[in-house]
Structure 1
Amino acid sequence: MTTMIDGTRIARRIRAQVAAEVAAATGAGAIPGLATVLVGDDPASAVYVAAKRRAIGEAGMRDFHRHLSAHATQDEVAAVIDELAADPQVSGILLQLPLPGRLDAVALIDRIPVIKDVDGLTTASAGLLARGERGLRPCTPSGVVELLDAEGVRLKSAHVAVVGWGELVGRPLTQLLLRRGATVSVAHEFTADLAAVTRPADIVVVATGVRGLIGPEHVSPGAVVIDVGIHRTPSGLTGDVRSAELDGIAGRITPVPGGVGPMTIAMLMVNTLLAARWSAEREDVVAQEASGMSGMSGMSGNSPAA
């Protein structure tokens, strides 16, 4: 029998851990704050932002939400991001995508300081990931890895097929998996024989945005299948995988909903907590350096009081 991976349960545990750590923080300045920026009135985006804001409240974090008109200009959105970037109470900034088509999303995302880039989408964050340096990773790929870890799925030496080469999931996930010691094959829209890539894999992660793309012909018996896709249909939500057809074939599979989706929000909470911690660390270093410089100035007779 195929086992359903309960992403909701795993995400709930992670969020509870984050909330406990936030509650243990002392002083108002130690409480993380997340700013969500929503431009326009896209219904799906509004639902996603509302879910993130609920998670912020449940974690005991501060909520700095900004809702801009659909007619907001590039400069107006940039000004809001710059304001939030300069606010020491804001640990992380999330610009909800997609933006209205006339706005340059890449340019706006890159205005977010790397230390506040809780979505892990800036060019600077991508560079840190590529070099394996400390940084905030994209939430959905991080959630996939965390989910596999929670299920006890061994990544080192495993063969993973990542179906989809998008900037939000496929590319960063491939790098995360490679750094965990997995052998990764990547399929995309130009792959001639998709099954030839996916069937040999121990783990198949699908993030294409193509409803029902993956079926029994693509999966070997016992493989773990992670479905990142989500599509609204008249009969409810579904993913990139034809899950019902894989019952009895896949060893484990994520449902839609209740699989990767909850993990994405959980990792957003983790990233916000990390951003707050790393910001505090940086402030401590700056303060220590300033204190050291002040002491040196006094010893040399060059202090302002001398």
Structure 2
Amino acid sequence: MFPQRRLRRLRKRILQPLFKETVLTKDDLIAPYFFDETISEKKPVESMPGQFRYPVSEAGAVAERVKSKGIRAMLIFGIPKDKDPAGTSAWIKDGVVQKAVAEIKSKVPGMVVITDVCACEYTDHGHCGIIGETCGGPDLLNDESLELMARIAVSHAESGCDMVAPSCMLDGMVLKIREALDDAGFEEVPVMSYSTKFSSALYGPFRDAADSGMSFGDRSTYQMAYENSREAFLESETDLDEGADILMVKPAGFYHDVIASVATLGLPVAAYQVSGEYSMIKAASENGWIDEKRIVLESLVSIKRAGADLIITYYAENAAGWLDEKQ
């Protein structure tokens, strides 16, 4: 009790670094990038100032820049030149992601390359798999889409990726992909599952960046309702049982409670600070309302404090530089 207990004793500036309970490092960060088969020079993403779509030919150069910042891992998304109802270009040998992975691994062999496994960028309807008629009208067909996800994952492994990250939120996706990878001889390729992915309004800028908008409906029949925390935990627990190596919560900033609960399952946890979170911080900072550097680092530390081991963020390169400044 006061005056014997004085918590401010350990807040002296010279002592503060010794007592930080949560420390953010560059090894915690995964940097996401968009590679576009239809362009020959980088193209700004209007709703995400400072972010770009890159041509596949620049994938190696981007990886070299990322490595120079001290970031060890990249998450790759692709924008193909051709789209169809079946998402065929997602799994072809010379697809955009497949070429980008090969380019990165040839230039920066030590870069950890993670590929997003989904079909929304590759289908002409913009949904995450095969569409068919259901009792409620046209919707994503679960089991038919699983075959597509398995094929995409194997094609990514064949191109040389280090890890696959299925994001389609289909029942059984981890089991199907794990079996397909094992059958193809890729037993050592881990699965980082988007195990709890909410149907969030924060994805708007991403759909601009990845050209993955929907021609009808929404994704609320396969992505999580943001009101449901027990179901969110069950989604991640199910993916653990199906063989996931890493569990992911997406988005990150509004879902610290879910990150904390998923962390109790014992697997490494990734959290995705999504496009809308990036754009909100960027817009406020460009208007002079907040200090961008301080807000970004505070937001990332808060995600780690909630229980995340890895953080996917569009601020990865900036954050790496700011962390260097603090040394």
Give the alignment's TM-score, normalised by structure 2. Answer: 0.30
Report which structure shows greater RCO (CA 8 Å, sep ≥6): 1
More helix by share: 1
> Which one has the largest radius of gyration?
1
